[in-house]
A and B are shown apart, each in its own frame.
Chain A
């Protein structure tokens, strides 16, 4: 019997190989890896648990069940599309990072225990940050560092929580956790950070828009979806998630409407979409979980499609602000079409993929008796249509003519967008293909009269509102501005506070060092004096003094042994 080859191993090996291969074989390898790995995944039995013990810990580095398999397939699709999209790039760093990142995401969803999950959780952070650094600007470096710090904190919380749970139960298995104590609380917050819970979300809107045009496509596919998977596995049916999710769907709308950087608009809309998934997970019924998971599946594809279309615009024009763009449909008609398909999907037009999954969550919310939450989600749906469905294509490709004349995006980008667009429509028309993969049996028909009617009404009125606001001149114009979000706390307030404190402490230190002497400096001088390159302890000693030491030690041991 062949040993089970874990999916992440393909990607890690490929990342190693990509680090040394020249361009053309590297491209071939990158295209082959997701295909081969996905084929291998489909060969694995549908219920599989590989366990091993390291240092008396029972670990399960590979667990396949319906939930992890679905995410596994999803990540392979996402990785393949992202790779096709980035194929033209000559940047080796990005290729290696993207492969390692996809591998880490796969490792995380197939992790059967919390320690393995932690390892991949951190690897996700470390590998993905290079996609942000790869922009090679000062802004991207700062954003990347902030991103890394927050992600690593999330990992540390996860580890701490896992250890507490291990202390209580003696098991590291990653099963349903539920909010029961300090350990589970820490894990919940760790997942929450990666999932961009409100107030913990800023790393996402801060860092994703700073990544490279191709890097953002990968980023939007993996990190948050791993967190959604982890929540679905560990905290399904935790009621507080319903309310957290509802807030997540609503608040980004406002930011998205006034934001000028179109990729940042998409980042906000990503939080909004994750909100729908979090609500579904919080409800915990079979329908809700199915809806949440299906929506995660669709979100990777249509959000990827939108990110790709904006990436293509950025790649071709070098600009991404709504105020600088417009009229691009003349020179990039194919990209425009694909962008509209993505916009229709995220806005949940019937026969597009968003519709078949979002409505599942909405129905589940009503079934479970949360009318207020349902209204919030309804508002959010209208908002999505507003900022992602209309604003993105409108300002980029239509609106006023910015005078930019460029060419259609490179072929590989178009192919990648084409694949994603085909999936959006395919799943929208034949949702049963996706439903069959879901963790629970689905008896839900998306295309019944009331669903379609409600959605069409919503979309029409929302469109009408946009048109009216725009004509009446009330719609917030696209401006160069900085919109203050909670990141202000740590990017402005905290540094200011730290500056003031350090200034105060510096004054105090100056005072003491004037009064006495620079204590720290002296300590360092002391260390250097003894340990430095020419320090007492590091110097080459004359033989005589070595012998002296021998004598001293012999004398000492003789005295000690006689005592």
Chain B
């Protein structure tokens, strides 16, 4: 039965497609393969999400080798949800990528570009689906290496430096994770996450376990781009090709946050990770600083891709704040924001890509009159911006609302102040763009010149999703709260 093989297909389909891409190396064919593989993974992820919602956790063993010896995949509500986010974003953004890549990347490199894209997708999906700590590291490297390549293909020469820095920092992060996993292996003799979770409590009070935990958290902090380990991110997102910025901003850090959640809640257990260890306090402080500081920096940025990148750092702050509350409500808010942030940043970066395609710039000063030259694109941008601020009736409002409720429930009202201050700062940096695009005097020659439909449709799909999930919260809040409950071990 094919439905039993879904977990394997989730990773294998994009992996094999990547190989085809490399062999084919023709732009159009490679793009078609990328789109088809993304769409297929999306279908698989929705099927799995459906199965998990109905009948609980899916366990899958490769080649029939049982868990401690072979590699086991384990799909529960949490990673089914993240798989759905990653594969959906990849599908939507790949539609946009065709025109964007054609204009930004030389023809002979486009085949490699799509190959790297599919490998990156494979890595991200693999990290999410695997139940094996070492396998996770392998997929992490696959996704990281391919994303360095993707970023380095940016048209700006600074893309090379940015990719190089990301490579150094990403490798350090991955190494830390590997060291952490290695220490745990030395301590427990297993790499399977379920086994780790069973054996760790007995040895939790050893220095080895604590050192392993420290390496894991700092390594993951790097991959998440938690303040002050975010320094690689702004340049990487700013100088990458537009499609890559949209894809990575909406997925890469989300997957890293998922890994943190997996280790904190499923492997180490919430009592150890957030109770015995002062991780919650650290996340609360660094998250608050990230929200305030990165939002302030975003205000002064002239390059909008950099502005959105700093805004992403701030959003990661919100995610960290949700985890630091260590309550099901806080975790619900984090999971919800994971999804909603993917929607809003996806919409914003895609819209920015449309603008870059048309005017060849993403600098604020070139935006004058853009509201009239590219009304549809700027419309999508404004919707994404409103969602980023957290205006009611947009998705961004829902996650901030839940985060505030969770903070109040816990009695941490300073967190509430930070969240509201962050939203106000977001108003400033989003408004700058609106003001420039709609109110500033446009340059002399202005005629309507929109981006092609293949770019506009993904932008508006994401923008409409922002509005849809701002009104119909049953789906997103329902899954997020069930997933949070399952991480806390309340239900299934």
Chain A residues within 8 Å of B, Cβ to Cβ: 19-20, 54-55, 527-528, 531-533, 535, 537-538, 540-541, 543, 545-547, 549-550, 553-554, 557-558, 560-563
Contact = CB atoms under 8 A, between A and B. Distances in A.
Contacts of A545: 231
Given A543-B169, A561-B278, A538 B375 contact: no
A399 B141 CA distance: 89
Most chain B CB within 10 A, of A535, A538, A563, is at A538
Contacts of A549: 228-229, 231
A553 B229 contact: yes
B401 A550 contact: no
B109 interface: no
Most chain A CB within 10 A, of B214, B215, B222, B296, is at B214
B76 to A, nearest CB: 27
B300 A528 contact: yes
B300 A533 contact: yes
Contacts of A20: 375
18 contacts: A19-B375, A527-B296, A533-B300, A533-B301, A535-B297, A538-B297, A538-B301, A540-B235, A546-B232, A547-B168, A547-B169, A550-B173, A550-B176, A553-B221, A558-B211, A560-B277, A561-B277, A562-B210
A561 B213 contact: yes
A561 B205 CA distance: 10
Contacts of B232: 546
Given A531-B296, A562-B210, A55 B169 contact: no
Contacts of A557: 214, 217-218, 282
Most chain B CB within 10 A, of A535, A537, A561, is at A561
Interface of B: 164-165, 168-169, 172-173, 176, 207, 210-211, 213-215, 217-218, 221-222, 228-229, 231-232, 234-235, 277-278, 282, 293, 296-297, 299-302, 310, 375, 398, 401, 471, 473
A452 B293 CA distance: 74
Contacts of B207: 562
A55 to B, nearest CB: 6
A554 B215 contact: yes
A538 B473 contact: no
Contacts of A533: 300-302
A537 B297 contact: yes
A547 B293 CA distance: 20
Nearest to A533: B300
Counting from the closest, the 4 A-B pairs by CB-CB distance are A561-B210, A531-B296, A538-B297, A557-B214
Given A546-B165, A554-B176, 15 more contacts: A55-B398, A55-B473, A531-B293, A538-B300, A538-B310, A541-B231, A543-B164, A543-B165, A546-B168, A549-B228, A549-B229, A550-B169, A553-B218, A554-B218, A560-B278
Contacts, number: 81
A531 B231 contact: no
Given A533-B302, A546-B232, A554-B218, A560 B165 contact: no
Nearest to B207: A562
A562 B213 CA distance: 11
Nearest to A552: B228
Nearest to B216: A557
B310 to A, nearest CB: 8
Contacts of B213: 561
Contacts of B398: 55
B218 A531 contact: no
A538 B168 CA distance: 19
B464 to A, nearest CB: 13
A532 B473 CA distance: 38
B471 A54 contact: yes
A55 B229 CA distance: 35
Nearest to B295: A531
Most chain A CB within 10 A, of B164, B229, B375, is at B229
B440 to A, nearest CB: 17
B469 to A, nearest CB: 12
A545 B232 CA distance: 11
B263 to A, nearest CB: 14
A531 B297 contact: yes
Contact of B229 (A531, A538, A543, A550): A550
B58 to A, nearest CB: 32
Contacts of B221: 553
Contacts of B302: 533
Nearest to A553: B218
Contacts of B300: 528, 531-533, 535, 538
A555 to B, nearest CB: 9
B129 to A, nearest CB: 28
B439 to A, nearest CB: 12
Given A533-B302, A543-B169, A561 B214 contact: yes
A396 to B, nearest CB: 37
Contact of B169 (A527, A528, A546, A558): A546
A54 B235 CA distance: 39
A533 B297 CA distance: 7
Contacts of A546: 165, 168-169, 229, 231-232
Contacts of B164: 543
Nearest to A556: B282
A560 B299 CA distance: 34
A23 to B, nearest CB: 15
Nearest to B471: A54
A561 B278 CA distance: 7
Contacts of B217: 557
A19 B376 CA distance: 11
Given A537-B293, A561-B278, A531 B215 contact: no
B148 to A, nearest CB: 14
A554 B232 CA distance: 17
A547 B235 CA distance: 16
A301 to B, nearest CB: 34
A561 B172 CA distance: 21
Contacts of A532: 300
Contacts of B235: 540
B104 to A, nearest CB: 21
A547 B296 CA distance: 24
A110 B297 CA distance: 44
Nearest to A562: B210
Contacts of A527: 296
B209 to A, nearest CB: 9
A44 to B, nearest CB: 21
Nearest to B302: A533
